[in-house]
Copies of this chain bind each other. A is one copy, B any other.
Amino acid sequence: PRPVRAARGTTLSAKSWQTEGPLRMLMNNLDPEVAEHPDELVVYGGTGKAARSWEAYDAIVRTLETLESDETLLVQSGKPVGVFRTHEWAPRVLIANSNLVGDWANWPEFRRLEALGLTMYGQMTAGSWIYIGTQGILQGTYETFAAIGVKLATARGLSAADAANASLAGTLTLTGGCGGMGGAQPLAVTMNEGVVLIVDVDATRLARRVSKGYLDEMTDDIDDAIARVLAAKAEGRALSVGLVGNAATVFPELLARQVPIDIVTDQTSAHDPLSYLPEGVSVEEWRELAASDPEGFTERARASMAKQVKAMVEFQDAGAEVFDYGNSIRAEAKLGGYERAFEFPGFVPAYIRPLFAEGKGPFRWAALSGDPADIAATDRAILELFPEDEHLRRWITAAGEKVHFEGLPARICWLGYKERHLAGLKFNEMVASGELSAPLAIGRDHLDSGSVASPYRETEAMADGSDAIADWPLLNALLNTASGATWVSIHHGGGVGIGRSIHAGQVIVADGTPLAAEKIARVLVNDPGTGVMRHVDAGYPRAVEVARERGLRVPMLPDAD
C-alpha cells in the first residue's frame, strides 16, 4: 500500500505515449482522489480492483515503462503474465478479468480462486483502467433521470414537444447507495431540478459526496430528512439530502409513512451480497463478519434485499416510477425469497435501449497532461462539432460548471455511431497542433450498446430474446483489437456480479500522430458500430435505420450492399 498518483505533464516514464497512456490511467484508477479503497487496490463497485496485488501492480508498471511500440503485455485478472512481440497496429495491453467457465461461474468458486491468488474482480472500468471518478457515472445517471422526467411529463399529458424539455422539478426520488457510482445520483437528480433522498449505511460515504459537491446535505434523522425533502418538493426547488440508515429498514418505513415519493431506485452494491449490509449488522462489524462467514452473511444480505425490494414493488403498486439501476438487486431479492422481485424493469429497457440502438452510450476521455485547461478546450471542441445537439450542449455546459475533477481531468458525454470518431479525430488534431498540452486517453464505459451481454442490465428483455448470448462482447473485443485500440479488455461479472455478464472495454490514446488518427478512424467507428450491429440483429427498427443511413455493412440485412 502506498499512495499512487499518475504523473502530470509531458515528461514520459514509458517509451511512448502509447504506453504512458495505460500507465497513467492505471495509476489514476488508484489515485486516492479517485479510488474508493486505494490501499486494497479497490477502485469502485465494492470490490472492483485495478490490479491483483501490489506486487502485480509494480510488475505492470515496470513492464509498461520498458514496453516497445511493437510489443504487447497480457494481463490476467490484474496480473501481468506475458510480453509478446506484435506490431505497431496492435494494442499495447490486452486484459482479461474475472472470467470463469460457465459451470464454475459463481461467487463461492470465484472467492475460492481469489483466495488462492488466482483472480480478482475487475468490475467494469476498474480492471480496465478507464474509471474517471464519479463523473463517469454522473452523465449516465443524468441521462437516465432526464429520460424519466420526459416519461413522467408525457404521462401527465404534456405534448411531446413540452415533455422533451420537462425537468424533475417538483418530484421526489428515493434511492439507496452513495458509493463510487451511486454517489452520482443526488447531483444527477438536482441537475435535472428534482429532489432526492439518498440512503446509505455508511456516514463517511455521504460525507464524502457532500465534500465533493455531489450531495447538498446529510442527516441521520429520518423525520428531519423527510421534512427537508418535502419542503423542497413543495417549493419545486432542487435539493439532495443524504440519510444515514439501512435501505432495508428505511425504504419500508417511508412506504408505511406514505411519503409522497415519485421515483424509486437503488445503487447499493447489491450485485455482491458481501457488499450489501444486512439489517442488524453495524458498519464496524461488516468486513469481519463477511470474511468469517460469507455464506451466512450472503443469506442475511439477501433477506434484507428482499425487504427493500418488496418496498420498491409496493411503491410501484402505489403509482411510483420504479426501476432497477443495474445492481442485480432484483435477482438477489429473488434469491432471498421475494417472488415479485422482477415486477419492476431494469433501467436499460425502461429508458436507454433506444439510445443503444444508435450505438449511443457513455463516451469519455481523460487529459494525460493533468491540465483542466485541456478538458475545457475539448468541451469547446465538442460544442463546435455538434452545434445542433441541444441536449449535449446543456450537459457539456452544466458539467463544465458543476463537475469537480477527481484525478486526471476528464469528460464524458453520450455520442453514437459515426459521431465518436469525429470527436476523436478532432482531439488528435488538437494534440498535434499543440492546442492540447498532451495526449488524451479516449475510452468508454462498459455500460455500452455493443460490448455487453448482461441479462439483468444492458441486454435485459432484448426484442429477440437474445439477452444471454455472449458472442457479441467477445466480437467487440476482437474487433477493437483488430482496429487499433491501445488497450482492450474482456471482463466477467462486472456491474451485476459473477455469472451474470460478459463485457468488453477499449481505450485509445490520441497522441497526435497520423498513425493514431488512422486507428481512431477505425476504432471509434467500429466500436459503436458493433452496438448498432447487435441491435440490428435483434430486430430494432431504429438500428436498421441507422445502419442504412450511416452505412454500416450488415451482410444479412435485406438489401445490404
Specify which of B102, B466, B552 is in contact with A500 (CB 8 Å cutoff).
B102
Bound complex: CA A481 to CA B87 (Å) = 11
- Whether B469 and A102, one on each chain, are in contact in the complex, defined by CB atoms closer than 8 angstroms, is no
User: Is A502 close to B, CB under 8 A?
Assistant: yes
- Whether B470 and A99, one on each chain, are in contact in the complex, defined by CB atoms closer than 8 angstroms, is yes
Specify which of B79, B83, B479 is in contact with A74 (CB 8 Å cutoff).
B479
User: Is A251 close to B, CB under 8 A?
Assistant: no
- CB under 8 Å from chain B, chain A span 189-227: none
The segment out of A88-96, A260-268, A375-383 that lies at the interface is A88-96
Specify which of B73, B118, B474 is in contact with A465 (CB 8 Å cutoff).
B118
Specify which of B91, B100, B106, B464 is in contact with A470 (CB 8 Å cutoff).
B100
- Whether A104 and B56, one on each chain, are in contact in the complex, defined by CB atoms closer than 8 angstroms, is no
Q: A83 contacts which chain B residues (CB < 8 A)?
A: 553-555
User: Is A161 close to B, CB under 8 A?
Assistant: no
The distance from the CB of A484 to the nearest CB of chain B, in whole angstroms, is 7
User: Is A499 close to B, CB under 8 A?
Assistant: yes
Q: A522 contacts which chain B residues (CB < 8 A)?
A: 84-87
Contacts A82-B554, A85-B522, A484-B87; is A478 near B479 (CB within 8 Å)? Answer: no
Q: A467 contacts which chain B residues (CB < 8 A)?
A: 104
Query: Interface digits, A476-491 against B, CB 8 Å rule (1 contact, 0 not)?
Result: 0111011110001010
Q: A102 contacts which chain B residues (CB < 8 A)?
A: 100, 102, 105-106, 492-493, 498-500, 502
Q: A518 contacts which chain B residues (CB < 8 A)?
A: 87
Specify which of B85, B466, B478, B500 is in contact with A477 (CB 8 Å cutoff).
B478
User: Is A533 close to B, CB under 8 A?
Assistant: yes
The distance from the CB of A349 to the nearest CB of chain B, in whole angstroms, is 16
Bound complex: CA A482 to CA B84 (Å) = 10
- Whether A466 and B63, one on each chain, are in contact in the complex, defined by CB atoms closer than 8 angstroms, is no
Specify which of B60, B119, B483, B529 is in contact with A82 (CB 8 Å cutoff).
B529
The distance from the CB of A129 to the nearest CB of chain B, in whole angstroms, is 15
- Whether B84 and A479, one on each chain, are in contact in the complex, defined by CB atoms closer than 8 angstroms, is yes
- Whether B533 and A74, one on each chain, are in contact in the complex, defined by CB atoms closer than 8 angstroms, is yes
The distance from the CB of A397 to the nearest CB of chain B, in whole angstroms, is 34
User: Is A12 close to B, CB under 8 A?
Assistant: no
- Whether A475 and B94, one on each chain, are in contact in the complex, defined by CB atoms closer than 8 angstroms, is yes
User: Is A281 close to B, CB under 8 A?
Assistant: no
Specify which of B81, B106, B118, B526 is in contact with A85 (CB 8 Å cutoff).
B526
Q: A74 contacts which chain B residues (CB < 8 A)?
A: 475, 478-479, 530, 533
The DSSP consensus for interface residues of chain A is mixed
Closest chain B residue to A455, Cβ basis: B101
Closest chain B residue to A537, Cβ basis: B81
The distance from the CB of A328 to the nearest CB of chain B, in whole angstroms, is 11
Q: A537 contacts which chain B residues (CB < 8 A)?
A: 76, 79, 81
- Whether A499 and B85, one on each chain, are in contact in the complex, defined by CB atoms closer than 8 angstroms, is no
Instruction: Indicate the member of A72, A104, A525 with the most B CB atoms within 10 Å.
Output: A104
Q: A490 contacts which chain B residues (CB < 8 A)?
A: 474, 478
Bound complex: CA A470 to CA B109 (Å) = 13
Bound complex: CA A104 to CA B468 (Å) = 6
The distance from the CB of A281 to the nearest CB of chain B, in whole angstroms, is 27
- Whether A483 and B90, one on each chain, are in contact in the complex, defined by CB atoms closer than 8 angstroms, is yes
The distance from the CB of A82 to the nearest CB of chain B, in whole angstroms, is 4
Bound complex: CA A113 to CA B466 (Å) = 7
Bound complex: CA A502 to CA B105 (Å) = 12
- Whether B80 and A556, one on each chain, are in contact in the complex, defined by CB atoms closer than 8 angstroms, is yes
User: Is A125 close to B, CB under 8 A?
Assistant: no
Q: A103 contacts which chain B residues (CB < 8 A)?
A: 105, 455, 468, 499-500
Q: A492 contacts which chain B residues (CB < 8 A)?
A: 102, 470
Query: Interface digits, A435-446 against B, CB 8 Å rule (1 contact, 0 not)?
Result: 000000000000
The distance from the CB of A84 to the nearest CB of chain B, in whole angstroms, is 5
User: Is A18 close to B, CB under 8 A?
Assistant: no
- Whether A471 and B85, one on each chain, are in contact in the complex, defined by CB atoms closer than 8 angstroms, is no
Query: Interface digits, A107-119 against B, CB 8 Å rule (1 contact, 0 not)?
Result: 0010011001011
- Whether A101 and B471, one on each chain, are in contact in the complex, defined by CB atoms closer than 8 angstroms, is no
Closest chain B residue to A98, Cβ basis: B471
User: Is A8 close to B, CB under 8 A?
Assistant: no
Closest chain B residue to A468, Cβ basis: B104
User: Is A97 close to B, CB under 8 A?
Assistant: yes
User: Is A348 close to B, CB under 8 A?
Assistant: no
Q: A500 contacts which chain B residues (CB < 8 A)?
A: 101-103
Bound complex: CA A501 to CA B103 (Å) = 9
Closest chain B residue to A553, Cβ basis: B83
The distance from the CB of A427 to the nearest CB of chain B, in whole angstroms, is 20
Known: A74-B475, A81-B533. 11 other contacts (CB 8 A): A59-B555, A81-B556, A82-B530, A82-B553, A84-B483, A85-B522, A101-B468, A102-B102, A113-B465, A119-B471, A477-B478
